[in-house]
Structure 1
Amino acid sequence: MWSVSGLVKLLLGVILMAASSSAQGNSSKNVVCYQGTWSVYRPGLGKFGMEDIDPFLCTHLIYAFLGIEETGQLRVIDAYLDLEENSGRGNIKSFNALKLKNPVLKTLVAVGGWNEGSKRFSLVARDPSKREKFVDDVVRFLQRHGFDGLDLDWEYPGQRHSLDNEDRSNYITFLKELKEGLEPFGFILSAAVGSAQFSAEISYDIPAMVPYLDLINVMAYDLHGPWDQVVGINAPLYAAEKDASDSSGRQQQLNVDAVVKYWLKAGAPAEKLILGVPFYGRSFTLATAEGNQPGAPHIGKGIAGNYSREPGVLGYNELCEMMEREEWTQKWEATQQVPYAYRQRQWVGYEDPRSLALKAQYVMDNHLGGIMIWSLESDDFRGTCGQQPYPLLHEINRVLFGGNTPSGLTTESNRESPSEGFSCPADAPAGYIRDPDNCSKFYYCSGGKTHNFDCPSGLNFDLDTKSCNYSGSVKC
């Protein structure tokens, strides 16, 4: 029979294991944040530079974009901005230096994007020598600039070009060879992928691509926009009631829930599936001011915002400022679980903290790998709308991590000056060192400099995961 003390110890052990499991479950969530580097050229308060990134709010930062040549070579699109040569601004160096502030942060570079198109990817993917050149260029670039991996953003295999080829199968070969080239160096390979079934099944053999990707960033947005005949919300969580009457079944696929269910059913493991969410809305000009419900007719794109300056698109930062200056009617679409707003003949379907909290909870409920954000510069990153900076990103982290940042670290936990009794040796390689006398303290050494961190109360630094973890789960 168990003694009372034995039962107490057993119960404590169960509680600690449960707590450890919960902590590991939360710490396994990813917050993958893209930054559109051209946003540094935006006017006024919309200008977004490296100094505006909070490196503690994301697990992965993705630098967007590099291009691809028909030869398989990487192409730096804005050499003056990205590089230091010829008196350039050295954006890439500043981007990767964010890891000196948050040593558990991972940085990736994205190749592709919508504007890069599909044809050049197709030409490279079909040619073994060009694929080899691309893999070699990528490895060299990541090593040279200090990135942790590559995000492949081919939009989209088998679409947007007229080549008679086998993009769908070539894409798998491309991923396989990329993985073989990156894996020996410990580099991450992720991909941004199309979302809705009728498009994704053209481009992807999902079970075949899964083994080669660490993260699958599903772009579950742009599900409705000015290309539709009627106004619709950018990324509805669920289908609208009227979607059920669509005999083709296409409209029923254009919501987050349908996208996720398709990818899971098609063979994507939940832990690799990263739900992409937009920090911008799709806007329209209504046919009449009175016809302002979802599904109303429109005559085209909405007016451009002050920062993005692109008709039909409004970043959350642009929109929240507009709503402070002007009288907008804000509505909540209960079935689709997203907001929309209108003013005179301008109409926008967008995201706010409430809708993103619901999407983050959906990630938790369905045990997905995390959330991907497009993109940082569209959040209210300055906090000009009366809230804290990055209100959207903070709300996602609140749901995924219980109010903490992904690592439990913050800007305040990073002290630049060395602590008493410890400093990194001048010849120490870049990396992490845990304090020999205090497991809740750790350091990042780089070039002889010591960057000091303290884990939040009750957590210790885990040398295996390179993050703060429950003390019961850390060998100290």
Structure 2
Amino acid sequence: MFPEQISLGIPTYGRWYGLANGNQNTIGAPVVGSSMTIAYSDLCKLLQSTDYTKVYNQETRSSYAFNAKKKQWISSDTIDDVALIARYANLQGLGGVTLSSVGQDDVDGRCGNGPYPLLHAVAGISNQNTIQETTTTQSVDNKRVRTNQAHNVFCSVNSNADTYYGSTQFTLDQIDTNLCTHIIIDHNNSLFSASVSDQLKGQNTDLKFLLTINSNENITINQWEDILEKNKADGINICMDSKTISHDFLKQIASIKSILPDKYMITISFNSPADTSDQKLLRKILALYEFVDYLIVLPFDEKSIGNFKELQSWNSLAALIQANPDKHIGDFSMASTLAFILSSDVPKEKLIMGIPTYGLSFLLENENKYSIGDNILAAGLPGRMTHIPGILASYEICNAIQSNNYERFLSNESVIVMAHKKDNLIIFDDTQSLQLPRRIVNGTVELKAKFIKQSQLGGVLVHSIDMDDYSGKFCNRGKYPITSVISGLFTKPITPPSIETTTTPSKQKTGLCSGIKTKDLIVDEADCHYYYVCLPNIDAPVAHLQCPSNMRFSKRLKACTQEDLPCSSKPKVNRNKETLEATTSETKPKFICPMPDGIFADVSDCTQYFACSNNIISPMKCPASLKFNSQSKQCDWSSDLCP
């Protein structure tokens, strides 16, 4: 085996041991019982406590910490340790490093080193060029030079979108052309033609069309050029939809750039890796990055997860659960996929990452068991409009929740939205308001879009725009609610959700929420396409949010609506109307902060506790096997609240 074929594993977790004798706490000291795995996200917070003595052993070049009084010993890698391991792999000429699993990194940056500190430490050593901010990409032969646009919003159209049926059939002229910079559609989809290209480019002269050709289609490069000219398209997207791709086909892709005229864009799209064989194939695909303009990472779909018999955290932002080797559960999150790709030396400005507008649906083996790792029987029934087994468009999910009494909830362990009814389960993303500490976001869709943009990738893919609520009749959030949130983030600079980002005078905003007794929504009097979110005991709004495309905020309904409201009017604020409806258990906790700031026990569940920040509540879960101790204000082996 050659060194470049080896990838060195780096854990994002530590191990927790019980010492036989608290005074014997060096490496090699005797322990009692079995060890426990603890995620770095929990570990880094724990080690900020003064209760633990932190040690770096020069001989073994490893870090550990211990608490002699409690007879506890923890081994883990610090940020510096991880960087040292990555540097070693680099110096030895290894193929790369593998973080296992990145979902246990400090995803939210709670420990003060920013989000994903371990991932950034590895990328900073192993993949220096992925950290640099590049504004242009240039081909190896210097024939094609393209400017990198951080606001790239690719919108794909599903291969069978021309077969949808319902009250409003999907057509390309229904797309708001200001939402997308590129539209990707199959070259043989009947919805697209040269006349459609002319029509939509008449609305947005910067809009580009890419025609998808599947890797299993027998089409020569000369035929590709004919197809592009005939349909007035701007480039091709090669979809790697096969488990086995020949070496000859990969060589053909490498030669495309020298044959096709420079005016045509070339992209490759592929699914996130679901198993080891997928990873091997993906390595070959990723090696082609220098011959194309962008690599497009597709979300998991019904094809890529078809062989699984257990629920996984597919398409989650970052799974907050441990891998379970007994059940072969891995971390199938966007963060893990990105880490895997960046470990292959792909420049991040060449990556486009997808956000699904659909949900994955399943039939459960046991209707009462639908957590990550529980068994599934089969793919769910097809939707009434899209009729794809195992896939439901966002508007079909809205209909299931509103008309078929599915229960919608946020899964804390996987950070994805779920809807459940008897033996049916759907996992998906939406734009329903989600409260985080000190801010409210437009659901998991906004969280994912911000993750992609803040990762400084080449852009985002809306996959697929025809599965967004294109008619605006199903989800009560206007037309294209998911695409609107994503596009709004990528066409404008990301700013903190602060009141200072608006154009209204700060004096008016500072006292806007004074006297508020419950959560409330207040219209932005300067522009009724926006509204403020007020919380009790905070004079200034905690968020300034925009309504979905083509909607305005109604003072009467306290919601975004399609009513024809005059934005030039100055409605008086009535704070005694309907309050903000909570969307998750976190937004309407029974617990009330006894003090504005601090950590407090959950008297009903000693495995969790509450963190209060300016009277805003964040429920926190102790690591496995630990309980919250109200005296030490931390998770511990023993608790004064329960046995």
What amino acid is aligned across from residue 490 of structure 2 in structure 1?
A: L
Write out aligned runs for 1:430-441 (5 A). Answer: none
| Whole-angstrom distance in 1 between the partners of 2:224 and 2:174 | 27
Provide the rounded CA distance (Å) in 2 between the counterparts of 1:213 and 1:274.
12
| 2:204 equivalent to 1:102 | yes
The aligned counterpart of 1:290 is 368
Question: Is residue 2:338 matched to residue 1:260?
Answer: yes
Q: In the alignment, is residue 49 of structure 1 matched against residue 49 of structure 2?
A: no
User: In the alignment, does 2:151 pair up with 1:29?
Assistant: yes
Name 1:213's counterpart in structure 2: 292
Contact (CA 8 Å) 1:225, 1:231: kept in 2 or not?
Answer: no
CA deviation after TM superposition for structure 1 residue 229, in Å: 1.5
Do structure 1's residue 190 and structure 2's residue 267 form an aligned pair?
yes
Aligned to 1:386: 476
Q: TM-score, normalised by structure 2?
A: 0.48
Letter in 2 for 1:186: K
Confirm or deny that 1:181 pairs with 2:259: yes
Cα distance between partner residues in 2 of 1:157 and 1:135: 22
1:52-96 per-residue CA deviation (whole Å, 9 max, x = no partner) reads 1111111100122x3xxxxxxxxx4x6xx36xxxxxxx7453145
RMSD in angstroms over aligned alpha carbons?
Answer: 2.7
Equivalent residue for 1:374?
463
SS in 1 for 2:160: helix
Equivalent residue letter for 2:154: V
Percent identity of equivalent pairs: 22
Query: Residue 289 of structure 1: CA displacement?
Result: 2.5
For residues 309-352 of structure 1, give each alpha carbon's deviation from its aligned partner in whole angstroms, at most 9, with x where no partner exists. Answer: 12211111111122111222112122422111101221011111
Contact 1:35 1:376 in 2 (8 A): yes
Amino acid aligned to 1:324 = Q
User: What's 1:402 paired with?
Assistant: 492
Residue pairs, 1:354-369, within 5 angstroms: 354-369=443-458
Q: Residue 60 in 1 paired to residue 182 in 2?
A: yes
Distance 1:52 1:298 in 2: 37
- Structure 1 residue 26, shift from structure 2 partner: 10
Say if 1:270 and 1:367, in contact at 8 Å, map to a contact too. Answer: yes
Residue of structure 2 in register with 1:437 after alignment: none
Deviation of 1:383 (Å): 1.1
SS of the residue corresponding to residue 237 of structure 1 reads coil
Whole-angstrom distance in 2 between the partners of 1:235 and 1:138: 32
Structure-2 separation of matches of 1:26 and 1:316: 31
Given that 2:313 and 2:333 are in contact with CA atoms closer than 8 Å, whether structure 1 keeps it comes out as no
Name the TM-score, length of structure 1 as normaliser: 0.64
8 Å Cα contact 1:194/1:200 also seen in 2: no
* SS at 1:363 equivalent: helix
Distance 2:232 2:381 in 1: 40
* Unmatched tracts of structure 1, length 5 or more: 1-20, 67-75, 83-89, 113-117, 125-132, 160-166, 405-476
Could you tell me how far apart the structure 2 residues matched to 1:104 and 1:260 are?
29
Corresponding position of 2:617: none
Structure 1 residue matching 2:288: 3-state secondary structure: helix
Q: Which structure's residues are more often helix, by fraction?
A: 1
Paired residue for 2:229? 143
Does the 8 A contact of 1:221 with 1:276 survive in 2? no
In the TM superposition, structure 1's runs of 4+ consecutive aligned residues that sit over 4 Å from their partners are 223-226
Q: 1:270 to 1:245 in 2, by over 3 A?
A: same
Which range moves more in the overlay, 268-277 or 298-307?
298-307
Contact residue 252 and residue 258 of structure 1 kept, 8 A? no
* CA positional deviation for 1:42: 1.7
Which region of structure 1 is more displaced relative to structure 2, 337-346 or 29-38?
29-38
Higher relative contact order (CA 8 A, sep 6+): 1
Q: How does 1:119-134 map to 2 (within 5 A)?
A: 120-121=216-217, 134=220
Change (3 A) 1:237 1:314: same
Pair member with larger Rg: 2
Structure 2: runs of 5+ lacking an equivalent: 1-134, 136-146, 432-442, 495-643
Q: If each structure's strand is expressed as a fraction of its own residues, which one has the higher value? A: 2
Deviation at 1:188, TM superposition (A): 0.1
> Could you tell me how far 1:157 is from its partner in structure 2?
5.9
Deviation string for 1:412-459 (max 9, x for gaps)? xxxxxxxxxxxxxxxxxxxxxxxxxxxxxxxxxxxxxxxxxxxxxxxx
| Structure 1 residue 158: Cα displacement | 2.5
Where does residue 340 of structure 1 map in the other structure?
418
Aligned-pair distance for 1:238? Answer: 1.6
